[in-house]
Amino acid sequence: MTQTLADNDLRATIRSIPDYPKPGIMFRDITTLLGDARAFRRAVDELVQPWAGMKIDKVAGIEARGFILGGAVAHQVSAGFIPIRKKGKLPHQTVRMAYALEYGTDEMEMHVDAVRHGDRVVLVDDLIATGGTAEGAVKLLRQVGAEVLAACFVIDLPELGGAAKLRAMDVPVRTLMSFEGH
């Protein structure tokens, strides 16, 4: 993806925190972007720009920052919102999918009635790294019959291969900026 002036403006709103949550990791904090009204609005607009005007039934957001971005995107495109949560957090009947973590696995859930067969869904989260969580979310959505139109992220860490993993699953990926390293 080529960087534009707009990308650089958004990039400047991301706070980088070295050695968090452990030594050697450069944490990319989007709370500073969320706190800047212009940057937040621009990020929401740009996340789904390639699909503007298409029928989007639902936007699925991955816990927790994906809820913030996904809710705003759903509002912007007049779609419903689906929270994809960690196991045990939803009160109604759920469907579940295991997904890969850096060291092991975890499980995510969504309500069994959150999607109707054939619903056109855009997946949203703040960042794509190794892609394990996003891959699990795509599989979960497809398991209940959703058509995953795209996956959208503010930040890509391309060296970790997550976006490529989703593209290999025939999911178009939209990112607004990338950072080298972890």
The DSSP code sequence of the chain is ----HHHHHHHTT-EEEET-SSTT-EEEE-HHHHTSHHHHHHHHHHHTGGGTTS---EEEEETTHHHHHHHHHHHHTT-EEEEEEETT--SS-EEEEEEEETTEEEEEEEETTSS-TT-EEEEEEEEESS-HHHHHHHHHHHHTT-EEEEEEEEEE-GGG-HHHHHHHTT--EEEEEE-S--
The pLDDT value recorded for residue 5 is 40
Give catalytic residue positions.
Answer: 65, 102
Q: How high is the mean pLDDT of the chain?
A: 92
Please report which confidence band the pLDDT of residue 180 belongs to, taking 50, 70 and 90 as the band edges.
confident
5-45 residue pLDDT tens: 455 589 999 999 999 988 988 999 999 999 999 999 999 99
Count structural domains, the chain: 1
Mean pLDDT of 51-69: 95
Task: Residue 137: give its domain's CATH number.
Answer: 3.40.50.2020
The pLDDT value recorded for residue 100 is 79
Q: Find where tokens 């139109």 sit.
A: 149
The pLDDT value recorded for residue 1 is 43
| Stronger pLDDT, 87 or 180, i.e. the higher one | 87
Q: State which residues form the domain around 153.
A: 5-178
The pLDDT value recorded for residue 115 is 96
